[in-house]
Amino acid sequence: MRVLPVGSSAVLLELDDLTQVLALRVALRERPLPGVVEVVPAARTLLLRWETGRVPDLSGIPWDPSPEASRELSPEHDALGSETVEVPVVYDGDDLADVTRLTGLTSAEVVRRHAATPWSVAFTGFAPGFAYLVGGDPTLRVPRREVPRTRVPAGAVGLAGEFSGVYPRASPGGWQLIGRTDLAMWDGDRDPPALLRPGVRVRFTPTTLRDHGQSATRASPRDAASRTGEELRLGGLEVLDPGPLTLVTDLGRPGHADVGVSPSGALDRRALRAANRAVGGAAGAPALEVAGPLEVRGLGRSVVAVTGAAVVVLINGHPMALGTPIPLDDGDVLTLTAPRAGAAAYVAVRGGIAAPVPARPLGSAATDVLSGLGPGPLRRGDVLAVDGPPWLESSVALLPEETSSASLPRVGAVTELDVVLGPRDDWFTPASRELLCRQEWQVSAQSNRVGARLEGARPLERTEPGRELPSEPTVRGAVQVPPSGQPVLFGPDHPVTGGYPVVACVAAHHLDLAGQLIPGALVRFRAVPASGRRD
């Protein structure tokens, strides 16, 4: 077993095969390591994550590599006698021709072999409802695409290495697409919400469905966080102009990566906490994350604060200070301009943005753009209530949290980010490992909360260009490198697992700064030890 660093708050345990991974996962359930808050299995690896600054004693890992310890823990064995799910597939995928070329089979034979063999769910990851299926015909093992797609449609059926899988919703992805299904893989109203779970057997059935369409439903703030009548007597906000993207967010939903749900939450957690503290609220209370201009009207009396990106804050056209509590009377209009620096500003309201239980999947009101969990983007006319008394008649001394001394990212300016090399830096040539930290990388316009695509004058080169990496867990801040050699820096809504090597991970103390990156900004990485920053 190899222990590989994953940023400053996690490690990757590399094992021989999936059976050993499952055996160790069972052992860690029976004898958990003190301090470890998350255990995420994948094809050949197991991720252990802990809270920042609380490094566990890894010498206590309950590992028994003997075959006897894990011979009955294979996914095929788990699937014996279990539930079987039939998945109807229209085999007309965009990569079917490439799969025939890679395998030497005809398209008809690819379809026959994919449907002839029963598959079973080994583990889940990447996104909610995404199951990694094993047990298929070995001739169908094909590499991922050299350049991942920015959007794979919901229901797409793909192949990657030894696995097959179905994308539960539209998302980025690099698997070879051979077909599509209209069967919903994830339904928040279903119990359990995931159709395919570890141990379930799967049979793909060729079909000639003419119509295909999955509408991934997401609660709108209009439906999920709006209030009328008695509840609005507490006060609230009416959205006059939501700008290009305004979301409800909080500190996210950590601890669910093993079922394919990323932590999500605010791009800049520190700024969110500062805004909430400035209005006298709980640090993680739901607030608004604003990527661009915003205009809202106060309903009743309330107190708001704005932090994060460098924006101009106006009340009825008059400028107000960032990071300080601002009284808002009934009918007052709060305006935020487009940011001069940084990507996200935060608007907190004393009492917190109200988000009822249906809009708080897995205990969080945060919007996850990859999985579709949480309320949708704000729309003009949405009315947001507050969760508690928005106005305190008594005098309360509220001091804003001290702002970060680090400069916010700007177009054309260089932002330095500390990174911990690994877990797969050895997949890259020595020259490329040096290039990672020497070269400036520009943030592409194709960037969002899932990840920032970086572009450099020279791509990173692998030691073995054709080598395939079995899917393994990832974390926020991971710098993943597809075969193109141009990295992707994962954000809070990142896929839970991925199949491209991660050369480095942003250190915990710079994750918020990385969340403020905007298209056109330049990034320079600086390698630091896993134990802390290098000053």
Q: Nearest CA to 54 among 39, 40, 30, 33?
A: 33
What does the radius of gyration of the chain's CA atoms come to, in whole angstroms? 24
Structure tokens at 3: 């222990």
How far apart, in whole angstroms, are the C-alpha atoms of residue 434 and residue 489? Answer: 18
Can you name the CATH fold of 2-70? Answer: Gyrase A; domain 2 (3.30.1360)
Per-residue model confidence as pLDDT tens digits over 353-377 = 986 555 677 889 999 988 788 888 9
Of the chain, the end-to-end C-alpha distance in Å amounts to 33
List, edge to edge, every strand of the sheet that includes 318-320.
Answer: 318-320, 313-315, 333-336, 294-299, 236-241, 383-385
The pLDDT of residue 390 is 59
Neighbours of 34 (CB within 10 A): 9
Q: Give pLDDT, residue 175.
A: 94
The answer to whether residues 311 and 345 touch, using CB atoms and an 8 Å cutoff, is yes
Give the Cα separation of 196 and 201 in Å (integer). 8
Report the pLDDT value the prediction gives residue 51, as an integer from 0 to 100: 84
Write down the residue that tokens 């400053």 correspond to.
8
Mean pLDDT of 53-73: 73
The residue-averaged pLDDT of 1-17 equals 94
Q: Collapsing DSSP states into helix, strand and coil, what is residue 75? A: helix
Judge whether 2-70 and 79-206 match in fold: no
With H, G, I as helix, E, B as strand and everything else as coil, classify residue 363. helix
Report the mean per-residue pLDDT for the chain: 87
- The answer to whether the CB of 364 falls within 8 A of the CB of 254 is no
- CATH annotation of 414-527: 2.40.100.10
Q: Where are the beta strands (DSSP E) in 260-377?
A: 287-290, 294-299, 302-310, 313-315, 318-320, 326-328, 333-336, 341-349
Mean pLDDT across 224-231: 42
Instruction: Give pLDDT, residue 535.
Output: 42
Q: H/E element holding 107?
A: helix 107-116
pLDDT at 84 over 80: yes
Q: Which residue has the higher pLDDT, 270 or 82?
A: 270
Which of 97-106, 129-138, 192-201, 448-457 is least confident?
Answer: 192-201
Parallel, antiparallel or unpaired: strands 326-328 and 302-310: antiparallel
pLDDT of residue 372: 80
- With both helix axes pointing from N to C terminus, report the angle between 96-103 and 107-116 in degrees, rounded to the nearest 10: 90
Instruction: Kindly indicate the confidence band of residue 451, based on its pLDDT and cuts at 50, 70 and 90.
Output: very high
Residue 405's pLDDT is 43
Of 418, 399, 390, 289, nearest to 344 (Cα)? Answer: 289
CA 121 to chain centroid, in Å, comes to 22
**Positive or negative, the Cα torsion across 430, 436, 438, 442?**
positive
Measuring CA to CA, which residue among 72, 68, 139, 136 is closest to residue 99?
139
Tell which residue, 201, 349, 377, has the closest CA to residue 291: 377
Vertex 136, ends 133 and 137: CA angle to 5°? Answer: 155
Q: For strand 451-455 and strand 488-490, is the pairing parallel, antiparallel, or unpaired? A: antiparallel
Model-level pTM greater than 0.75? yes
Mean pLDDT of 445-461: 96
Mean local confidence (pLDDT), 435-451? 96
The model's pLDDT over 102-143, given as tens digits with 9 standing for 90+, comes to 999 999 999 999 999 899 998 888 878 899 999 999 999 999
For residue range 493-519, list pLDDT tens digits in order: 998 888 899 999 999 999 999 999 999
* Nearest CA among 149, 183, 150, 143 for reference residue 166: 183
Given this model, what pLDDT does residue 107 score? 96
Domain ranges of the chain: 2-70, 79-206, 221-385, 414-527
**pLDDT score at 211:** 46
Cα–Cα distance, 306 to 508 (Å, whole number): 24
Considering only the top CATH level, what class is 79-206?
Answer: mainly beta
Q: Which residue has the higher pLDDT, 399 or 90?
A: 90
Compute the average pLDDT of residues 183-201: 83
Torsion, CA 524, CA 127, CA 130, CA 166, rounded to 10: -70
What region, left, alpha or beta, does residue 457 occupy, with left being phi > 0 and alpha being psi -120 to 50 degrees?
A: alpha
Report the pLDDT value the prediction gives residue 142, as an integer from 0 to 100. Answer: 95
The pLDDT value recorded for residue 214 is 44
